[in-house]
């Protein structure tokens, strides 16, 4: 079975961000592309979401990209935490605040 | 030849230098992606002709499409994309281009790419659509009797070399206006002594120099409107014009319109395309019908599809589609690219049509791995060599992406 972030297990804001991400980012490709990309840098996500927003008919407005980046920021923290656990490194305290910079 | 080799060396050096520089400087600005689809096509009615050019040609059996792509963001304004795929044409350079973005509303693209036309081409990679095959107007080789029809109206993808200016403009947070205008090498038929249609195999060859100096030109305009937090719709129009023979005598024009409505994960898509294409009538013997004195030197091929895609669960998607094509005009008895100088009587008629109804399921076992299955009912307006007008076929495939 596909394992996606479960909106029920997230806070209401996080669930709303994930839902918007899944709507917008599955229009032209499956959401596995971003989720499995291995990218965990806020700055790179900022550039990448801006690039996707410019795709013809993307439907990703500036307003949407703020929520999408907020989701990707949280997702990246989780990915980094899992990676560090795999490597046996003590994970730092997660910072779930919004990423700096807006698209 | 020396110029061609030199250009290859310069291009390869530039790409290698670019990639090595990025590897040294900033790995996080490069993405690497790919996909592979293995599909088995079963035709219940057992087509007589398989895999060779000629009337009734139909693929039955396994097909493989695989591709890898690298995208490098060199700066906020400059990016490069290279995609190589392997399919029916062998290895193919699907894209190798640079984008120089001045602002969102003005981007210059140059290199090898599929020019902006229609809505489907953005999703042409098998990982990005739920069926194993493409809508008939964009079919490239999987349709039944493809030899009769010489594929779809505009087989996708259609990589070619050239330059495109494109851009997007958001009007507040509710509307997105996209445009594109381009001049590219376009479609060809340099090999047949009396060209009657594109030679798609030849058109995909990575030319650097061509005997046809006149580029194909085209444009696209599309408006996307968000009608709510979870819904948007896109209305687009595209057109292109060019010549396809070495003497620039034979013209073609393709125009199309598309509409997409998306509400959450449910999508309704429809497109219509028509190609008007002149053919060489200097050898009337190759045609099935007498050449009409007026308007007898062209055909028109119409194509359309309507599809609805609906997720049933997080893992299961269902798609229903009706698509078809309608061709009006004289019929060549010599299949494109067959090298056959002895005309065979084409089964197609002056007015021929095909309608297909598809029901497809796609099941994701893992986030990046999906099984695809579909059943297709085909209804042709003309009988094949065995007298059949209706055919049934099945696809079962698996696609993975990374």
Tell me the pLDDT tens digit for each residue of A51-91.
999 999 999 999 999 999 999 999 999 888 888 888 876 65
Nearest to B309 by CA among B144, B123, B140: B123
Q: Which of B103, B232, B264, B77 is nearest to A60 (CA)?
A: B232
Residues 207-246 of B with CB under 8 A from A: 220, 222, 224, 226, 229-230, 232, 234, 236
What is the percentage of chain A residues whose pLDDT exceeds 70?
Answer: 76
Q: In this predicted model, what pLDDT tens digit does every residue of B302-341 receive, in sequence order?
A: 999 999 999 999 899 999 999 999 999 999 988 887 665 6
Encode pLDDT of B8-66 as tens digits: 544 544 554 454 444 444 444 778 889 999 999 999 876 655 545 566 678 888 999 99
Measured CA to CA, the distance from residue B387 to residue B2 in angstroms comes to 53
Q: List the alpha helices (DSSP H) in B130-199.
A: 146-149
How many residues can be counted in chain A?
103
The verdict on a CB contact (< 8 Å) between A4 and B128 is no
Predicted complex ipTM exceeds 0.90: no
User: Which residue among A3, A43, A54 sits closest to B367, beta carbon to beta carbon?
Assistant: A3
* Pick among B99, B176, B402 to test the A interface (most A CBs inside 10 A): B176
Structure token digits, residue B166: 């494109």
Q: Classify B316 as helix, strand or coil.
A: strand
Q: How far is residue A77's CA from residue A100's CA, in Å, rounded to a whole number?
A: 14
- Over the stretch B126-157, which tens digit does the pLDDT of each residue have? 988 999 999 999 998 889 998 899 999 999 99
Could you read off the pLDDT of B97-128 as tens digits, one per residue? 999 999 999 999 999 999 999 999 989 999 88
| Candidates A20, A27, A28, A47, partner chain B, best to mutate (most B CBs within 10 A) | A27
3-state secondary structure of B104: coil
For B229, which residue in chain A has the nearest alpha carbon? A20
Chain A neighbors of B365, CB-CB under 8 A: 1-2
pLDDT score, position B260: 97
CB-CB neighbors (< 8 A) of A1 in chain B:
314-315, 364-366
Under 8 Å between Cβ of A1 and B315: yes
Predicted local confidence at residue B11, as pLDDT: 53
Name residues 262-281 of chain B within 8 A of A (Cβ): 262, 264-265, 267
pLDDT digits (tens, 9 = 90+) for B167-225: 999 999 899 999 999 999 989 888 888 899 998 877 766 655 666 668 899 999 999 99
Instruction: Check if B102 contacts A (Cβ < 8 Å).
Output: no
Residue B141's CB is within 10 A of a number of other CB atoms, namely 20
**Chain A residues inside the 8 Å CB shell of B265:** 22-23, 26
Contact A44 B116 (CB under 8 A): no
DSSP secondary structure letters along B197-232: S--HHHHTS--SS-S--SPEEEEEEEEEEEEETTEE
Closest CA to B186 of B271, B122, B83, B277: B277
Q: Between residues 23 and 82 of chain A, which touch chain B (CB distance below 8 Å)?
A: 23, 26-33, 35-37, 39, 41, 43-44, 47-48, 51, 54-59, 61-64
8 A C-beta contact, residue B43 and residue B144: yes
Q: Do A56 and B29 touch (CB under 8 A)?
A: no
pLDDT at B24: 43
Question: Residue B356 in contact with residue B390, Cβ under 8 Å?
Answer: no
- For B338-383, write each residue's pLDDT tens digit: 665 666 788 899 999 999 999 999 999 888 899 999 999 999 999 9
pLDDT computed for residue B6 by the predictor: 44
Q: How far is residue B215 from each of residues B87, B96, B209, B400, measured CA to CA in Å?
A: 27, 19, 12, 37
Say what the pTM is: 0.86
Minimum CA–CA partner of B230 in chain A: A23
Tell me, yes or no, if B104 comes closer than 8 A to chain A by beta carbon.
Answer: yes
DSSP state of B180: E
Which residues in chain B have Cβ-Cβ distances shorter than 8 Å to A59? 176, 224, 226, 232, 234, 262
* Of B303, B307, B306, the residue nearest B319 (C-alpha): B307
Contact flag A62-B166 (C-beta cutoff 8 Å):
no
pLDDT of B364 reads 92
Query: What tokens does B267 get?
Result: 């999508």
């Amino acid at each position: 079975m596909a394992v996606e972030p479960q909106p029920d297990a997230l806070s209401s804001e996080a669930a709303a961000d994930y839902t918007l991400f899944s709507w917008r980012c599955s229009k032209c490709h499956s959401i596995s592309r971003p989720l499995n990309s291995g990218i965990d840098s806020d700055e790179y996500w900022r550039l990448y979401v801006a690039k996707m927003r410019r795709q013809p008919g993307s439907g990703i407005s500036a307003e949407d990209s703020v929520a999408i980046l907020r989701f990707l920021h949280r997702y990246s923290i989780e990915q980094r935490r899992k990676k560090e656990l795999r490597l046996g490194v003590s994970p730092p305290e997660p910072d779930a605040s919004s990423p700096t910079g807006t698209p | 030849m020396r110029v061609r080799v030199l250009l290859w060396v310069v291009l390869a050096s530039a790409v290698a230098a670019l990639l090595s520089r990025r590897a040294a400087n900033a790995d996080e600005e490069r993405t690497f992606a790919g996909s592979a689809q293995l599909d088995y096509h079963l035709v219940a009615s057992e087509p007589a002709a398989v895999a060779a050019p000629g009337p009734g040609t139909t693929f039955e059996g396994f097909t493989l499409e695989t591709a890898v792509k690298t995208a490098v963001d060199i700066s906020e304004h400059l990016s490069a994309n290279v995609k190589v795929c392997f399919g029916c044409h062998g290895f193919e350079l699907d894209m190798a281009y640079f984008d120089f973005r001045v602002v969102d509303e003005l981007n210059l693209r140059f290199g090898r790419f599929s020019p902006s036309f229609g809505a489907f081409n953005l999703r042409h990679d098998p990982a990005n659509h739920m069926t194993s095959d493409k809508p008939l107007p964009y079919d490239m080789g999987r349709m039944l009797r493809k030899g009769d029809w010489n594929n779809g109206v505009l087989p996708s993808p259609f990589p070619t070399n050239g330059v495109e200016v494109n851009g997007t403009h958001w009007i507040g947070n509710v509307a997105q206006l996209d445009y594109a205008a381009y001049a590219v090498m376009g479609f060809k038929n340099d090999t047949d002594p009396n060209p009657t249609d594109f030679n798609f195999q030849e058109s995909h060859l990575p030319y650097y120099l061509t005997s046809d100096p006149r580029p194909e030109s085209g444009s696209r305009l599309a408006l996307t409107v968000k009608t709510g937090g979870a819904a948007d719709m896109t209305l687009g129009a595209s057109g292109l014009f060019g010549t396809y023979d070495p003497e620039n005598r034979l013209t073609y024009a393709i125009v199309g319109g598309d509409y997409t409505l998306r509400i959450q994960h449910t999508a309704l898509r429809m497109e219509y395309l028509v190609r008007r294409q002149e053919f060489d009538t200097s050898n009337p013997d190759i045609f099935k019908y007498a050449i009409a004195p007026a308007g007898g030197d062209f055909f028109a091929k119409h194509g359309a599809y309507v599809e609805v895609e609906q997720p049933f669960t997080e893992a299961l998607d269902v798609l229903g589609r009706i698509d078809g094509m309608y061709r009006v005009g004289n019929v060549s008895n010599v299949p494109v690219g067959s090298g056959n100088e002895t005309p065979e009587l084409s089964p197609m008629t002056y007015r021929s049509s095909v309608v297909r109804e598809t029901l497809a399921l796609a099941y994701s076992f893992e986030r990046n791995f999906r099984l695809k299955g579909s059943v297709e009912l085909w209804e042709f307006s003309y009988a094949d060599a065995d007298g059949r007008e209706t055919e049934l076929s099945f696809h079962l495939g698996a696609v993975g992406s990374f």
